């Protein structure tokens, strides 16, 4: 595999990762079938945990470069309309700041890693309009309201696309779609 230069990351932002508590408790009308609530909650819990993993990886990388000394040197923000006060308390206890819409988008810059898996809104188009994050992790194909338009295609030409590691956990449902991709901004020449 080709060696990839990862730009310095000072922020990790996750959009639409979902509630870490049962969504049926957060909004009883959100799901009517119990198995969907259990599936969604497990997936949401793991998606939120990925934020912590990314933070630790990037803090370690910054530490080795002499630019950071602790995971707290990499800020973490999450934004989802499903977050509750309980989510805010749980995530805050881990150093993750829950923000209201649109603040997650407004925090994006060229030293940000953005994670958004299977959104139901035009995530890529919004990102293309406001920032060029160092890393983006999201679906490479169309997902619900998230389209592939000329702005997104132009933006992704500046990124190296790497398939997200395979989900080999043998779940009854896929944790990540087969087209989940890590986009790393290419160094400027």
Range of the domain at 65: 11-185
Instruction: Give how far Cα 63 sits from Cα of 41, 50, 60, 116, 122, Å.
Output: 33, 20, 5, 26, 35
The reply to whether 6 falls in a domain is no
pLDDT, one tens digit per residue, over 29-79 is 554 444 444 446 677 888 899 999 999 989 888 776 666 566 678 999 999
Q: Is the dihedral of CA 105, 119, 140, 115 positive or negative?
A: positive
Confidence at residue 41, expressed as pLDDT on a 0 to 100 scale: 65
The reply to whether 163 falls in a domain is yes
**Looking at the predicted structure, is the pLDDT value of residue 11 above 60?**
yes
Residue 61, domain CATH: 3.40.50
The reply to whether 3 falls in a domain is no
**Looking at the predicted structure, is the pLDDT value of residue 176 above 80?**
no
Confidence at residue 128, expressed as pLDDT on a 0 to 100 scale: 93
Q: What is the DSSP string of 116-150?
A: --S-SS-HHHHHHHH---SEEEEESS-BTTB---H
Q: At 53, phi and psi to the nearest 5? A: -65, -45
What pTM value is reported for the model? 0.83
State the chain's mean pLDDT as an integer: 80
User: How far does Cα 1 stand from its chain's mean position?
Assistant: 24
Per the structure, the count of domains in the chain is 1
d(CA 12, CA 114): 6
**Looking at the predicted structure, is the pLDDT value of residue 189 above 90?**
no
The reply to whether 2 falls in a domain is no
Indicate the pLDDT class of residue 175, thresholds 50, 70 and 90.
low
Confidence at residue 117, expressed as pLDDT on a 0 to 100 scale: 83
The reply to whether 34 falls in a domain is yes
Q: How many CA atoms lie within 13 A of 141 on its CB side?
A: 5
Confidence at residue 7, expressed as pLDDT on a 0 to 100 scale: 85
The reply to whether 4 falls in a domain is no
Q: Is the dihedral of CA 151, 160, 188, 131 positive or negative?
A: positive
The reply to whether 104 falls in a domain is yes
pLDDT, one tens digit per residue, over 118-156 is 777 888 899 999 999 999 998 777 665 666 788 888 999
Confidence at residue 142, expressed as pLDDT on a 0 to 100 scale: 67
């Amino acid at each position: 595999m080709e060696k990839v230069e990862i730009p310095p990351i000072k922020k990790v932002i996750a959009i639409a990762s979902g509630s870490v508590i049962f969504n049926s408790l957060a909004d009883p009308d959100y799901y009517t079938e119990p198995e969907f609530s259990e599936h969604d909650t497990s997936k949401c819990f793991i998606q939120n945990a990925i934020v912590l993993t990314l933070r630790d990886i990037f803090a370690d990388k910054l530490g080795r470069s002499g630019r950071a000394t602790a995971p707290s040197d990499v800020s973490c923000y999450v934004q989802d309309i499903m977050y509750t006060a309980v989510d805010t308390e749980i995530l805050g206890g881990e150093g993750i700041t829950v923000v209201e819409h649109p603040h997650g988008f407004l925090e994006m810059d060229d030293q940000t890693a953005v994670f958004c898996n299977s959104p139901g809104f035009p995530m890529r188009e919004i990102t293309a309009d406001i920032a060029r994050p160092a890393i983006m992790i999201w679906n490479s194909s169309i997902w619900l309201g998230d389209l592939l338009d000329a702005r997104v295609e132009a933006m992704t030409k500046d990124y190296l696309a790497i398939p997200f590691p395979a989900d080999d956990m043998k779940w009854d449902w896929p944790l990540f779609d087969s087209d989940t991709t890590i986009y790393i901004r290419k160094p400027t020449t």
